[in-house]
Amino acid sequence: MLHKLLMPHRYVEVLEGFRYHLFHLASWPESILLLLGVYAVILGVSVQSRERAALLACAATLVIMLGVYFLVLVGSPYDTPPFDVSWYILVTAPRLFMQLWPCFLLVFFLTVRTPEEVIRLLRSGLSSLPRG
């Protein structure tokens, strides 16, 4: 397995598979990550200080799990077609990303402002404008 971790083409293949499966997550017609990105840009980001430690722990767990999945796929024992790394990624990546999805959503929605927060900010901003 160690010699497979030294093969750069396996890293490229796994990264391409991750990119493809993240873009086509759960067979949505559009990328759900793109839609969530637009949502985050529109509403903005706000992390409460009391939530910062939990958010950091959850995000770190998510990154570590994704890194371990990546290394497992790079070092996978599948070498010969039709059961090569591409096949292994095709079969396992959607399931692996669905396992990480709830943790990602938790981190995402703890980070992005709620619509109520945005409305409150807009109202307080409008009330501080001079009338005339």
- Whether the pLDDT of residue 130 is over 70: the answer is no
- For the chain, what is the HEC assignment? CHHHHCCHHHHHHHHHHHHHHHHCHHHCCCCHHHHHHHHHHHHCECCCHHHHHHHHHHHHHHHHHHHHHHHHHHCCCCCECCECHHHHHHHHHHHHHHHHHHHHHHHHHHHECCHHHHHHHHHHHHHCCCCC
Output the pLDDT for position 127: 63
In a domain, 121, yes or no: yes
> ∠ at Cα 27 (55, 22), nearest 5°?
45
Predicted local confidence at residue 126, as pLDDT: 64
Domain presence at residue 103: yes
pLDDT, tens digit, for every residue of 56-114?
999 999 999 999 999 988 888 877 777 888 888 888 988 999 999 999 999 999 999 99
| pLDDT at 55 (0 to 100) | 92
Peptide bond into 102 cis (omega under 30): no
CB atoms within 10 A of CB 130: 4
Q: Give the count of domains, the chain.
A: 1
Residue 132 lies in a domain: no
Cβ proximity of 85 and 13 under 8 Å: yes
Map tokens 């009338």 to a residue. Answer: 131
112 within some domain: yes
The parent domain of residue 35 ranges over 2-127
At residue 84, the pLDDT reads 83
